[in-house]
């Protein structure tokens, strides 16, 4: 496994080069691309690469990109998926305008083209079963065997195909096949199936059809109908290209699209097959397609990844023609660098311990102005409360400090971020020896500085919230869903690589009051902790819930 950071500068532009050439030579005068998802699941980060390529090329060359549902298999397709796909493409920042299409809107035309092939003697109805067709297909080294039904007359084929359409036959009894070449070295050309019987309603065209075209028979022709100039797909379709072109060569299509392939995105610590993602949802291993640990765009969005960071990631990894792996830490780093610029800072205490400032008057409060971003005054500031009782993170105190620990310890001094310098004078423990309170004194002259009254520089700065105004929240500390870089590796069950610690729920966090008013998807940096955003969890209407989007630093570097 290797990462592919080098692809950025070298092969980034092979599709752009092709398009530039085609515009220069006059082959095309504008560019039309499409993003063609099958609505059989939610979109994932791999689809984001394809979306950014297709919509990005259209944008860069002043052309247009269609959103097309490749909806030829009603057995697996649902309206829920159609809706979520549109939502995700929009969220990523792309707009198909009026160019929303469904392959199924062309079913009548595709049917007529199938009839045309029959009339030309280039398609036939076959009665072999699916298993027989597979057995007759041959192998990479041996040619296939012709079906005994291959030489039916045109009239017989016309009659049977019409009856297939009318719903006379049960599923699996007949198929329409292209009559191409059972000895072709390319298995896709060995009389491919063009239509199968499926007595199933369709999410877009309802009960109108009893037969459905195969992906290969629909894709290129739909490209032609929509006037697609550059039909860009992933490398596994390379061996389908001769079939794609065979249809274009043998049908009276209105335009001549061309297929180009690029390498799909493979991301470490992730599975991307829709079948597996669906399994995670159905088996309740995750809470849904939009679980914040899922690599789906709905999950990533709910987790709090900004869409700009996903676009930047797609830009950074580039577009190549060789299969490679991208380390998920590159995506996480894109999220960090985007949020470092855009996320306002806030203070939150995830594992609180009470801190009492004994020389601060009871009932008195003060306010401090806290900058929302240390380098960006234009992002403004907010007022934060200071009172006699505060919450600090229990990690920021050690009774017997280890070497190099510069935070709070008995007798030690720290600066409260945006607040005073305090000195710890003692601890109170419960009967089990658990610390329940820290006692401190503060230096009223230390509002602005980081020096003690006797001139020593304070080494540690810690975050805190005022107990009189803090809000309690549940915080979900997410980590990678898998603990192995390649959970999909051949043979093994990917589920054995699930990370048992992919989420830790901390229920008693104390946040500065302003965070109670934040909206879902508004990202914050919780100082010294990481990036967080409110989770729109409908099942917890009266709880304030935050997701950890990403840690401040890559914790996996040290783990590895």
CB of 46 to ligand ATP, least distance (A): 2
Tell me if 92 contacts ligand ATP by CB under 6 A. no
From residue 312, give the alpha-carbon distance in Å to each of 48, 330, 341, 487, 553: 11, 11, 14, 25, 19
Helices (H), 181-290: 215-226, 241-250, 274-282
Find all residues with CB under 8 Å of 375, minimum gap 6, and list them. Answer: none
CB of 427 to ligand ATP, least distance (A): 53
Task: Restricting to residues 270-299, name those near ligand ATP by CB under 6 A.
Answer: 272-274
Give me the 46-85 binding string for ligand ATP, x by CB under 6 A, dash otherwise.
xx-xx-----------------------------------
CB of 132 to ligand ATP, least distance (A): 26
Task: Render the burial of 405-416: b for 16+ CB within 10 Å, e for the rest.
Answer: eebbbbebbbbb
The DSSP output letter for 456 is P
Find all residues with CB under 8 Å of 302, minimum gap 6, and list them. Answer: 290, 291, 292, 535, 536, 547
CB of 85 to ligand ATP, least distance (A): 8
CB of 483 to ligand ATP, least distance (A): 21
Secondary structure (3-state) at 340: helix
Secondary structure (3-state) at 233: strand
274 is catalytic: yes
CA distance 485 to 494: 11
Residue range at the interface with ligand ATP (CB under 6 A); choices 31-39, 59-67, 129-137, 477-485: 31-39
Q: Which is nearer to ligand ATP, 123 or 267 (by Cβ)?
A: 267
Tell me if 177 contacts ligand ATP by CB under 6 A. no
227: left (phi over 0), alpha (psi -120 to 50) or beta: left
| Cα-to-chain-centroid distance, residue 206 | 30
Q: Please pick, from the candidates 5, 20, 22, 38, the single residue that binds ligand ATP as defined by CB under 6 A.
A: 38
| Cα-to-chain-centroid distance, residue 267 | 11
CA distance 545 to 471: 11
Nearest alpha-carbon partner for 3 in 325, 334, 316:
325
264 is catalytic: yes
Give me the 236-265 binding string for ligand ATP, x by CB under 6 A, dash otherwise.
----------------------------xx
Q: Which is nearer to ligand ATP, 47 or 311 (by Cβ)?
A: 47
CB of 262 to ligand ATP, least distance (A): 7
CA distance 60 to 52: 11
Residue range at the interface with ligand ATP (CB under 6 A); choices 21-29, 34-42, 157-165, 383-391: 34-42
Sheet (strand 530-534) strand order: 345-346, 523-526, 530-534, 545-551, 471-478, 503-511, 348-349
Q: Which is nearer to ligand ATP, 147 or 307 (by Cβ)?
A: 307
CB 472 within 8 A of CB 357: no
CB of 188 to ligand ATP, least distance (A): 16
Tell me if 189 contacts ligand ATP by CB under 6 A. no
Tell me if 12 contacts ligand ATP by CB under 6 A. no
Q: Which is nearer to ligand ATP, 31 or 465 (by Cβ)?
A: 31
338 is catalytic: no
Which pair of structure tokens corresponds to residue 86? 């549109």
Q: Which of 152, 241, 274, 548 is catalytic?
A: 274
CB of 552 to ligand ATP, least distance (A): 29
Residue range at the interface with ligand ATP (CB under 6 A); choices 131-139, 266-274, 481-489, 504-512: 266-274
Q: Which is nearer to ligand ATP, 240 or 510 (by Cβ)?
A: 240
Tell me if 222 contacts ligand ATP by CB under 6 A. no
CB of 252 to ligand ATP, least distance (A): 26
The DSSP output letter for 363 is T
Q: Which of 137, 256, 264, 417 is catalytic?
A: 264
CB 293 within 8 A of CB 503: yes
Q: Which of 5, 38, 156, 315 is catalytic?
A: 38
Tell me if 389 contacts ligand ATP by CB under 6 A. no
CB of 261 to ligand ATP, least distance (A): 9
Which pair of structure tokens corresponds to residue 490? 């051949």
Tell me if 114 contacts ligand ATP by CB under 6 A. no
Give me the 128-167 binding string for ligand ATP, x by CB under 6 A, dash otherwise.
----------------------------------------
- Please give the residue whose beta carbon sits closest to ligand ATP in the complex: 46
Tell me if 233 contacts ligand ATP by CB under 6 A. yes
Give the helix, strand, coil percentages of the chain, each rounded to 5.
30, 25, 45
Residue range at the interface with ligand ATP (CB under 6 A); choices 41-49, 151-159, 319-327, 353-361: 41-49
CB-count burial class (<10 Å; 0-12, 13-18, 19+) for 166? exposed
Residue range at the interface with ligand ATP (CB under 6 A); choices 32-40, 169-177, 473-481, 494-502: 32-40
CA distance 555 to 532: 16
469: which strand partners?
none
Nearest alpha-carbon partner for 515 in 550, 482, 547, 483:
547
Active site residues: 38, 264, 274
List of residues contacting ligand ATP (CB under 6 A): 36-38, 46-47, 49-50, 233-234, 264-265, 272-274
């Amino acid at each position: 496994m290797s990462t592919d950071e080098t692809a950025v500068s070298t092969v980034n532009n092979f599709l752009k080069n092709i398009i530039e050439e085609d515009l220069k030579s006059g082959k095309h005068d504008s560019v039309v691309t499409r993003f063609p998802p099958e609505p059989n699941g939610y979109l994932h980060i791999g689809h984001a690469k394809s979306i950014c390529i297709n919509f990005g090329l259209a944008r860069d060359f002043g052309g247009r990109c269609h959103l097309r549902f490749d909806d030829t298999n009603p057995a697996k397709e649902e309206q829920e998926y159609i809706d979520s796909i549109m939502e995700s493409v929009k969220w990523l920042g792309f707009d198909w305008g009026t160019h929303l299409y469904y392959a199924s809107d062309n079913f009548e035309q595709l049917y007529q083209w199938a009839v045309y092939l029959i009339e030309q003697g280039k398609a036939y109805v076959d009665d072999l079963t699916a298993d027989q067709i597979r057995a007759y297909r041959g192998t990479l080294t041996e040619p296939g065997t012709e079906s005994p039904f291959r030489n039916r007359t045109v009239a017989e084929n016309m009659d049977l195909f019409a009856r297939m359409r009318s719903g006379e036959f049960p599923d699996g009894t007949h198929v329409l096949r292209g009559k191409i070449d059972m000895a072709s070295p390319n298995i896709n050309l060995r009389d491919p199936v063009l239509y199968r019987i499926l007595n199933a309603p369709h999410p877009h065209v309802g009960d109108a059809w009893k037969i459905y075209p195969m992906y290969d028979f629909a894709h290129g022709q739909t490209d032609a109908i929509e006037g697609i100039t550059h039909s860009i797909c992933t490398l596994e379709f390379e061996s389908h290209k001769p079939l794609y072109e065979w249809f274009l060569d043998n049908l009276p299509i209105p335009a001549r699209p061309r297929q180009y392939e690029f390498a799909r995105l493979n991301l470490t610590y992730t599975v991307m097959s829709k079948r597996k993602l669906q399994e995670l949802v159905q088996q309740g291993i995750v809470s849904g397609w939009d679980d914040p640990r899922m690599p789906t765009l709905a999950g990533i969005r709910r987790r709090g990844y900004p869409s700009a960071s996903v676009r930047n990631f797609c830009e950074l990894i580039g577009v190549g023609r060789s299969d490679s792996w991208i380390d998920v830490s590159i995506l996480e780093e894109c999220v960090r660098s985007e949020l470092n610029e855009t996320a306002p800072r806030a203070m939150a205490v995830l594992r609180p311990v009470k801190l009492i400032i004994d020389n601060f008057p009871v009932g008195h409060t003060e306010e401090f102005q806290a900058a929302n971003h240390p380098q960006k005054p234009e992002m403004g500031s907010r007022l934060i409360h200071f009172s006699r009782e505060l919450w600090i993170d229990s990690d920021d105190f050690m009774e017997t400090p280890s070497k190099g620990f510069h935070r709070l310890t008995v007798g030690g001094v720290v600066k409260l971020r945006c607040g005073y310098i305090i000195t710890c004078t003692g601890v109170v423990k419960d009967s089990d020896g658990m610390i329940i309170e820290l006692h401190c004194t503060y230096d009223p002259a230390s509002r602005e500085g980081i020096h003690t009254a006797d001139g020593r520089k304070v080494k540690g700065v810690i975050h805190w919230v005022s107990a009189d105004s803090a809000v309690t929240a549940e915080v979900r500390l997410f980590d990678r869903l898998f603990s192995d870089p390649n959970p999909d590796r051949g043979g093994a069950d990917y589920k054995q690589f699930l990370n048992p610690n992919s989420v830790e729920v901390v229920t008693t966090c104390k946040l500065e009051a302003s965070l109670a008013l934040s909206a879902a998807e508004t990202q914050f940096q919780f100082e010294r902790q990481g990036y967080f955003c409110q989770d729109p969890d409908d099942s917890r209407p009266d709880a304030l819930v935050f997701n950890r989007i990403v840690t401040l630093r890559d914790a996996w570097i040290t783990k590895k």
